[in-house]
């Protein structure tokens, strides 16, 4: 006999599958599907339109109050929805780094800021980028030199930021500026939000190892920001930024609280704990007349990734709850950041090991596996260990603040 809850879950599962069948791009999930170039206008439009459809259907925006645009569903419904979105894969969702803004505003924002910005992030209206790192203030974030000077009800900003992810996609940006040049360290910074169409703002690309320009530079030349766009109090921007960094270092585990994720490449992990793609790759790759799936060492590495994924999934749920309850210290997110980014390197290296000499073929080569996507991810994974605080610095944080070891 099937229980009532099981029947409801089955009906919801069928509903989500029908939604995906009707709303995913033509030929999605088949070898014939050709995704738009990353960061192209076509890709941005697809991301925004699909996110809006997902939001309108009630399949994303979880974990937030309804008055700010959140979608309220029982835990079992959220689980079913995430499973189905993960199983089929979806276009990357819009918002950029908007989930970091959501977490930051939930702790520090005014009611007006929460009601205005959060819904526009959840429904895919606005993509967000980050203005933190500078040429001389990367890991030492407190050393930012971009200046904001008060002029009536506005702040006039001058300076430069760099290593901005998704720089060309941003509709809005969150920005850390020095507002009191003579003030003490950590108490001389303020946190702002600004529209990327504001006069005096410009941006340009930074080319990286993968050949892409996923990161960029931001320039401010007498750009004006309304005072009402300051988050938190003047001079308290460091503490606001720490909330943002906790969410950033929590990464996809925290963002997953919002709903579905996107997976354009057939070989990307489509859900935490799902390694079916790696199993399929190993089974379909033959070496010396044998399938690599018969290699116990390959199977052990895949199991290792699956185990870590499950651990990260539960850790992410715990961390998300701690952020909402304001009990997160920041140390928890540092642990997650190290685990997630080191696993990215491990996974990329394992794919290179499986495909052998084909790992030398990049995008554009007709012989490249999945149009070079897995190798692109492998190269990009090196950068992931640097952003949001390099893993070396994160390890120092754990050793000093958690383990109580002496500073170097």
- Dump the DSSP string for 19-59: HHHHHSPTTTTSTT--PPPTTSHHHHHHHHHHHHHHHHTT-
Q: Does one domain contain both 22 and 66?
A: yes
Please check whether residue 249 lies inside any domain of the structure. no
Distances (CA, A) of 289 to 280, 281, 284, 301: 17, 16, 12, 21
Please check whether residue 164 lies inside any domain of the structure. yes
Please check whether residue 157 lies inside any domain of the structure. yes
The set of catalytic residues is 248
The DSSP H or E segment spanning 355 is helix 331-355
Please check whether residue 122 lies inside any domain of the structure. no
Structure tokens belonging to residue 300: 């052990």
Range of 51's domain? 4-99
Start-to-end CA distance of the chain, whole Å, equals: 63
Q: What is the pLDDT of residues 270-301, one digit of tens each?
A: 443 468 778 888 898 888 888 989 999 999 99
Q: Residue 4 above 70 pLDDT?
A: no
CATH code, 269: 1.20.140.10
- pTM comes to 0.77
Give per-residue burial for 365-393: e unless 16+ CB within 10 Å, then b. Answer: eeebbbbbbbbbbbbbbebbbebbbebee
Q: Does one domain contain both 10 and 95?
A: yes
Q: What is the pLDDT of residues 105-157, one digit of tens each?
A: 999 999 999 999 999 999 999 999 999 999 988 778 899 999 999 999 999 99
Q: What is the pLDDT of residues 46-94, one digit of tens each?
A: 999 999 999 999 999 998 999 999 999 998 899 899 889 988 889 989 9
Q: What is the pLDDT of residues 16-46, one digit of tens each?
A: 999 999 999 999 988 888 888 877 899 999 9
Q: Residue 316 above 80 pLDDT?
A: no
Q: Does one domain contain both 269 and 230?
A: no
Q: Does one domain contain both 303 and 351?
A: yes
Rounded Cα gap, residues 161 and 163, in angstroms: 7
Q: What is the pLDDT of residues 365-376, one digit of tens each?
A: 888 777 777 777
Structure tokens belonging to residue 171: 């509709």
Mean pLDDT of the chain: 86
CATH code, 20: 1.10.540
């Amino acid at each position: 006999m099937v229980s009532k809850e099981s029947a409801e879950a089955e009906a919801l599962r069928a509903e989500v599958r029908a939604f995906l069948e009707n709303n995913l791009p033509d030929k999605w999930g088949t070898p014939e599907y050709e995704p738009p170039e990353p960061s192209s206008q076509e890709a941005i439009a697809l991301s925004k339109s699909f996110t809006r459809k997902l939001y309108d259907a009630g399949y994303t925006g979880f974990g937030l109050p309804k008055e700010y645009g959140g979608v309220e569903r029982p835990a079992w419904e959220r689980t079913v929805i995430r499973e189905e979105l993960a199983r089929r894969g979806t276009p990357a969702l819009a918002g950029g780094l908007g989930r970091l803004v959501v977490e930051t505003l939930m702790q520090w924002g005014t009611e007006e800021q929460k009601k205005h910005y959060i819904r526009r992030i959840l429904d895919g209206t606005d993509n967000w980028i980050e203005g933190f790192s500078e040429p001389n203030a990367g890991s030492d974030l407190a050393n930012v030199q971009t200046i904001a000077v008060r002029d009536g009800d506005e702040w006039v900003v001058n300076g430069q930021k760099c290593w901005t992810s998704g720089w060309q996609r941003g509709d809005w940006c969150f920005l850390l500026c020095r507002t009191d040049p003579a003030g003490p360290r950590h108490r001389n910074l303020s946190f702002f939000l600004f529209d990327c169409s504001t006069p005096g703002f410009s941006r340009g690309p930074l080319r990286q190892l993968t050949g892409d320009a996923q990161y960029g530079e931001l320039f401010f030349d007498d750009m004006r920001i309304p005072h009402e766009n300051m988050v938190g109090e003047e001079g308290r921007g460091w503490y606001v930024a720490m909330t943002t960094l906790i969410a950033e270092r929590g990464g996809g585990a925290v963002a997953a609280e919002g709903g579905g994720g996107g997976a354009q490449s057939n070989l990307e992990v489509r859900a935490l704990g799902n390694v079916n793609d790696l199993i399929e790759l190993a089974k379909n790759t033959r070496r010396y007349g044998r399938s690599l799936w018969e290699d116990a060492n390959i199977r052990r590495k895949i199991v290792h990734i699956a185990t870590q994924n499950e651990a990260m999934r539960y850790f992410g749920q715990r961390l998300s709850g701690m952020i909402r309850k304001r009990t997160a210290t920041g140390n928890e997110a540092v642990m997650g950041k190290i685990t997630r980014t080191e696993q990215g390197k491990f996974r990329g290296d394992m794919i290179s090991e499986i495909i052998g000499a084909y790992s030398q073929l990049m995008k554009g080569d007709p012989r490249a596996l999945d149009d070079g996507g897995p190798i692109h991810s492998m190269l990009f994974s090196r950068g992931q260990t640097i952003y949001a605080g390099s893993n070396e610095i994160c390890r120092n944080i754990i050793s000093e603040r958690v383990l109580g070891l002496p500073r170097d």
